Amino acid sequence: MTTISRDEVAHLARLARLAVTEQELDTFAGQLDVILQAVARVGEVTAGEIPPTSHAVPLTNVLRPDEVTPSLPVAEALAQAPDAAEGRFRVPRILDEEE
């Protein structure tokens, strides 16, 4: 397995616009090498028989079923509105759209 070099770390630091000292180049090279080795080990796992999942455990719907119930009459809903027209709430225009 190849290791990441100081030059590669310096290149990555330049791309990310990070100021990195010479000592940090050595430190980061070792740390990035460990990370890349761990990722490579994960990639070696044979998982062809395992279907992709979005959750580790099955999800169940916790919402109640929809039930039709009587609603508030329009006149009663609009009774306390500051402004109403044609059975609707009237609000100030916020966009400059042409009609």
The pLDDT mean for the chain works out to 87
> What is the percent of the chain with per-residue pLDDT over 90, rounded to a whole number?
51
Domains along the chain with CATH numbers: 6-43 (1.10.20)
pTM across the whole model: 0.45
Burial class (CB in 10 A: 0-12, 13-18, 19+), 37: middle
Mean pLDDT of 84-97: 86
Instruction: Indicate the SS3 state at residue 1.
Output: coil
pLDDT digits (tens, 9 = 90+) for 26-83: 999 999 999 999 988 887 877 778 777 788 888 887 888 889 999 999 999 999 899 9
- What distance separates the 2 farthest-apart alpha carbons in the chain? 75
User: Over the stretch 17-41, which tens digit does the pLDDT of each residue have?
Assistant: 999 999 999 999 999 999 999 988 8
Please count the other Cβ atoms lying within 10 Å of the Cβ belonging to residue 12: 15
Neighbours of 28 (CB within 10 A): 19
